Structure 1
Amino acid sequence: MPTLPRLSWRLVGAAALAVALPFAATACGGGGSGDKLVIGTKFDQPGLGLKNPDGTMSGFDVDVAKYVAKELGYPEDKIEWKESPSSQRENLIQNGQVKYIVATYSITDSRKEKVDFAGPYLVTGQSLLVRADNSDITGAESLQNNKKLCSVSGSTPAQRIKDKYPGVQLQQYDTYSACVEALKNGAIDAVTTDEVILAGYAAQSPGAFKIVGQPFSEERYGIGLKKGDKELCTKITDAVKKMEADGSWKAAFDKNLGPAGITAPAPPALDGC
């Protein structure tokens, strides 16, 4: 077999290294030049995670995610947003498609078996959205008379309805925006999810909807990340603590959810990683 001169071997080695380096840089995600930080959020939740017609992102979850990214060393132009429907969040994290998810992601024991959470960064509760002219739905118990209720597949609110209110006709869609559209055209009687999410939709269509009854759960929103990544979890926790302490947390809440008539609560105490 013919032997390549020493210089040729060096050239081959350099070419192989040049091919390998871009892949290494992409996988590292260490905040270096050219790297992108992929963050998961919702694209259809006004006031929380919304992709606007011009392609920009807005909402409280988005602002929390951006603040954390900045503390990790990623300016806004280094963020790549990944839509994260409720039913896909664990898979997106486990498969490495996102670094972390900020997407109205309730911390539950079953989810903690698959992913880790930093947080909670917000505490809310499950509620009901109905059309403004509705008078016979006043809370969760009034849904038992074969009312058609919509929630999202894979969500905590949908599971709670199945477990606690079996007399309800539960319709499960992929997104809350699809539920709200079905409510608007009369295909369903009510939408259920967390109060802050419903408030965003109500504010988006003034006079069309109203929230009824008292919240009937406590939802603790966390930032989801790969299980076992304690270093990242600690960094995210420290970033959220800083956001709460310097006033940015309340400012983000007031900007995004204040127009829906919700007063900013005291920031929740964060659990350790």
Structure 2
Amino acid sequence: MKKRTIMDGIQYLFIFLASAISIISLVVIIVFVLRKGLSHVSWDFLTNSFSPSDPNSGILPMLVGTLYTVGVTLLIATPISICSALYLHEYAKANKITEVIRFAIDGLASVPSIVYGLFGFSLFVTILQPFTNGYSILSGSLTLSIMILPVLIKTIEETLKTIPNELREASYALGASKVQTIFKVILPTSLNGIISAIILAIGRIVSESAPLLLTAGMVYYMPEGIFSSSRTLTTHLYYLASEGVSDEQRAQAFATATILILVIVALNLIVKLVARRIQKKVG
């Protein structure tokens, strides 16, 4: 009994230390970036266009390009991932085909992002150039959609596995069809898991730079639509960090990183607020 108590205490200590290291690391990074960049953030910085010759120029085109990219990518990837997860868990039988599909999904999740960028450049920028206009937000979003599909599918499928079979059986007992059960019972019940998957996807979309460098380009002008080439905040931060030889450019890089963090937080809050409203209507 005493030995078991000691082992439990050691396990608790390791779990506590791992959690503390994770939280402290996150806090240190955020505080460091905010301390370096927050003082350089101003209204002009947010609303002015960028100019390489002006170290005090703004990031409005990159901010708009980021929002475009996130929105279009989620519009493409979210419905596909939800339908794929529903098929794998609700319709597909456990056989060799589903094993191959799940193996492929796991494999795609581990592919480096630069490989997705090269694929997107070859397909969307080059082959499908008449439809995507080459280097464009649409090409970048299509590439990112393929890249985040494995994460979305796996996360949503794991959420579907947590739904008790009793809920499905109760729905069928009341005379509901398979489709009605999915839309009236399964999807509303798994909404929190789907929102968590979308939040993870937003973080992945906003943080990527390599695929967008090869598909969306590095144009720093205000995008006119999804067929325009554009920078995101991440690719702009890469540009500033690689060119940042002056104190003004370094300050602008930290200010851009600060806005990037705030944009991620804001998008996550918006997604959660929308989810709550949907849950209220469904409930």
Place the TM-score, normalised by the shorter chain, in its bin. Answer: under 0.3
- Whichever structure has more strand as a proportion of its residues is 1
- Whichever structure has more helix as a proportion of its residues is 2
* TM-score, with structure 1 as normaliser: 0.25
